[in-house]
């Protein structure tokens, strides 16, 4: 291929679209005219029409696509692993945690710290319980391992904090006693499956 052929390879109407370059205006008025010509085109009014149509649908047609966060919040999936809640027994109102310590042991971030003591009736009670949400990775193991469904993942998902360590105490996560009636049984990560009763089998006699 000669140099001339090389330079002209694939150049042609089939392969390239040649730009129709306009004359560059020299005067201010000419430049303004060019800007106005390029700016005000039919597409601009189509875009404005779409905007106004969607605004009318949102304001008067009940088709709002956004919510007023934080006053409104979108529902989250029950399996979402949000900030923990501590549940109470619905019958007595006492907290469900029996202080077994499994959640503390399984926590891979080592962010649960708890302690127990004996009360005046020699029953074990939780004396201290904290979760450091600066370390927690929301893996859900603690909710998965809890035998009492005491620690669960709730619906609060705002985990931002001004401090690297942000602790939550047992009382912060515990259902307020006056809100016990609104406490819902957890159906998310680590919860008992709806058909759990059907899966229970008798222990074989040989065992």
Among 29-37, 62-70, 109-117, 179-187, which window interacts with ligand SF4 (CB under 6 A)?
Answer: 109-117
Shorter beta-carbon distance to ligand SF4: residue 100 or 180: 100
Among 26-34, 53-61, 98-106, 193-201, which window interacts with ligand SF4 (CB under 6 A)?
Answer: 98-106
Q: Is the peptide bond before 70 cis (omega within 30 degrees of 0)?
A: yes
Residue for token pair 């029996």? 98
CB of 189 to ligand SF4, least distance (A): 9
Please state, in angstroms and as integers, the Cα–Cα distance from residue 185 to each residue in 90, 113, 203, following that order: 10, 25, 28
Distance of CA 201 to the CA centre of its chain: 38
CB of 207 to ligand SF4, least distance (A): 26
Would you count residue 112 as binding ligand SF4 (CB under 6 A)? yes
Would you count residue 140 as binding ligand SF4 (CB under 6 A)? yes
CB of 157 to ligand SF4, least distance (A): 13
Residue 131's DSSP bridge partners are: 112, 168
Tabulate helix, strand, coil % of the chain (nearest 5). 30, 15, 55
Instruction: Count residues near ligand SF4 (CB under 6 A).
Output: 26
Residue 113's DSSP bridge partners are: 130
Single out the residue of 107, 143, 113, 149 nearest to residue 131, CA to CA: 113
Residues that bind ligand SF4 (CB under 6 A): 97-103, 106-109, 111-112, 131, 136-142, 145-146, 148, 150-151
């Amino acid at each position: 291929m000669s140099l001339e052929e090389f330079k002209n390879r694939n150049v042609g109407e089939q392969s390239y679209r040649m730009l129709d370059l306009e004359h560059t205006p020299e005067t201010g008025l000419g430049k303004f005219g060019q800007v106005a010509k390029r700016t005000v085109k039919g597409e601009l009014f189509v875009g404005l029409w779409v905007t106004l149509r969607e605004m009318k649908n949102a304001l008067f047609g009940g088709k709002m696509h956004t919510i007023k966060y934080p006053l409104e919040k979108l529902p989250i999936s029950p399996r979402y692993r949000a900030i923990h809640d501590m549940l109470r027994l619905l019958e007595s109102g006492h907290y469900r945690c029996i202080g077994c310590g499994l959640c503390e042991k399984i926590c891979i971030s080592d962010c649960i710290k708890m302690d127990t003591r004996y009360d005046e009736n020699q029953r074990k009670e939780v004396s201290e319980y904290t979760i450091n949400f600066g370390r927690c990775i929301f893996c859900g193991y603690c909710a998965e391992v809890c035998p009492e469904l005491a620690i669960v993942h709730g619906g609060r998902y705002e985990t931002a904090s001004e401090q690297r360590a942000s602790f939550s105490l047992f009382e912060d996560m515990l259902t307020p006693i006056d809100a016990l009636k609104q406490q819902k049984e957890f159906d998310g990560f680590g919860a008992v499956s709806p058909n759990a009763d059907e899966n229970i089998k008798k222990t074989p006699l040989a065992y």
